[in-house]
Amino acid sequence: MSDVIRLVRAVLDSMADPVLILNADSHIVEANDAARQLFTLPQNGEPLAADFLPSDIVAWLNDAQRTINDWVKDDDHAYAPRLAALPIDALPPSYKLLILRDISQLKKLTHNQNEFIRIAAHDLRSPLTSIQGFANMLELGLVGELNEKQHEFVSKILSGVTQLTALVENIQDAGRFDPETGFYEILRAPCDLRELVAQVVEEHLLPAEKSALRLSASIEDDIPVLLLDSNMIERAVRNLVDNAIKYTPNGGSVVVTLSHDEHDVIIAVTDTGLGISSENQKRLFQRHVRIARQEHKRIKGSGLGLFIVRSVALQHGGDATVHSTEGQGSTFTIRLPMSPSGI
């Protein structure tokens, strides 16, 4: 055995993460101690075979188009596979390195965090409903007439409750709809997007400070009925419309368009707001991302709306994108596949 091979083996065995050396046929030619324990491989000196690898990892290795974010062995062990070239002169150039980064602890922390947020958001609903109910009774004068100042205070209480309720709903949706960690089970049924989009636009109430803003819809007649989760799609469209209204100056316009091409049905929300720089557009759909801008300083938000929009689109086999020019407004688009293969 050459000194280089001995050195490679010593380095691999010193690594805590499972590491395997594979040949061009994805057969295991070497594995470190962590990998041998993980896959119950024979000890050093005994022959190895590709059969020791799980079928989903083998499928990923043999298909360049396939992606795999993590591989879960059991409830307590999860790994993030990564493939790398192995530029060592003593080994054939076709050999590659498979590294399984141990993310078990990260998975547990993420699960615990999501579970805490889910329980906290759920438990907030009852007191919010109670506060809103009593405030409505005060506003209606059911417990006595209110003076002008008292009416103003009750109105501010109800406005705060509305904002908190929207935040709780977004937190719940972000956790449920997340394509990677969400627990929501999509309930597909025939969905008339023409009716859904028209209803969202018709029922949207513009805030008093945006009384001069124009909200309209442009809906094609020949939109097919698709098998979708109408609850998820409605939440996504409402988030896009809410965002467009919040970030478009009074006197501007927001247009919701429903159309289709050969493959997809397209829901687009176009505004005449301030626009978004190309650099910021790359981050928009990430969780809790809000673009810092002086003009938007007073606008409240959790940075979850667009994350929910893309999560809903991905769960339906589609995607969400943005096209924007600074000073000219933005267009946010949801594409939903029409073909069964895209669902």
Among the candidates 142, 177, 212, a domain finishes at 177
Q: Is the domain of 147 the same as that of 116?
A: yes
Q: Is residue 259 part of a domain?
A: yes
Contact by Cβ (8 Å): 104, 113: no
Domain that holds residue 28: 3-102
- Residue 342: the pLDDT is 43
Please tell me the pTM assigned to this model. Answer: 0.65
Q: Is the domain of 98 the same as that of 30?
A: yes
Of the two residues 339 and 320, the one the predictor is more confident about is 320
Residue-wise pLDDT tens digits, 176-234: 777 766 677 788 999 999 999 999 999 887 887 788 899 999 999 999 999 999 999 99
Q: Is the domain of 301 the same as that of 321?
A: yes
Q: Which residues of 296-326 are buried (b: 16+ CB within 10 A; e: fewer)?
A: eeeeebbbbbbbbbbbbbbbbebebebebee
Of the two residues 322 and 290, the one the predictor is more confident about is 322
Q: Is residue 163 part of a domain?
A: yes
Q: Is the domain of 128 the same as that of 239?
A: no
Of the two residues 314 and 114, the one the predictor is more confident about is 314
**What is the rounded average pLDDT for all residues in the chain?**
83
Q: Is the domain of 255 the same as that of 309?
A: yes
- Residue 343: the pLDDT is 45
Among the candidates 177, 198, 233, a domain finishes at 177
First to last CA, the chain: 53
Q: Is residue 303 part of a domain?
A: yes
Q: Is the domain of 64 the same as that of 193?
A: no
> Is pLDDT at 341 greater than 60 in this prediction?
no
Q: Is residue 133 part of a domain?
A: yes
Number of domains in the chain: 3
Q: Is the domain of 193 the same as that of 319?
A: yes
Q: Alpha-carbon distance 253 to 241, whole Å?
A: 11
CATH code of the domain in which 215 resides? 3.30.565.10
Q: Is the domain of 95 the same as that of 126?
A: no
Q: Is the domain of 201 the same as that of 280?
A: yes
Of the two residues 3 and 250, the one the predictor is more confident about is 250
Q: Is residue 182 part of a domain?
A: no
CATH code of the domain in which 78 resides? 3.30.450.20
Among the candidates 177, 200, 230, a domain finishes at 177
Of the candidate ranges 8-12, 277-281, 284-288, the one whose mean pLDDT is the lowest? 8-12
- Residue 42: the pLDDT is 72
Q: How many CB atoms lie within 10 A of CB 160?
A: 14
Residue-wise pLDDT tens digits, 62-114: 776 677 777 888 878 888 888 877 666 656 667 788 889 888 888 888 778 77
Q: Is the domain of 68 the same as that of 200?
A: no
Cα distances from 257 to residues 10, 124, 214, 227, 283, in angstroms, run 61, 35, 14, 20, 24
- Residue 103: the pLDDT is 87
Q: List residues bridging with 101 in a β-sheet.
A: 80
Q: Alpha-carbon distance 37 to 318, whole Å?
A: 40
Once rounded to an integer, what is the mean pLDDT over residues 260-272?
94
> Is pLDDT at 321 greater than 90 in this prediction?
yes
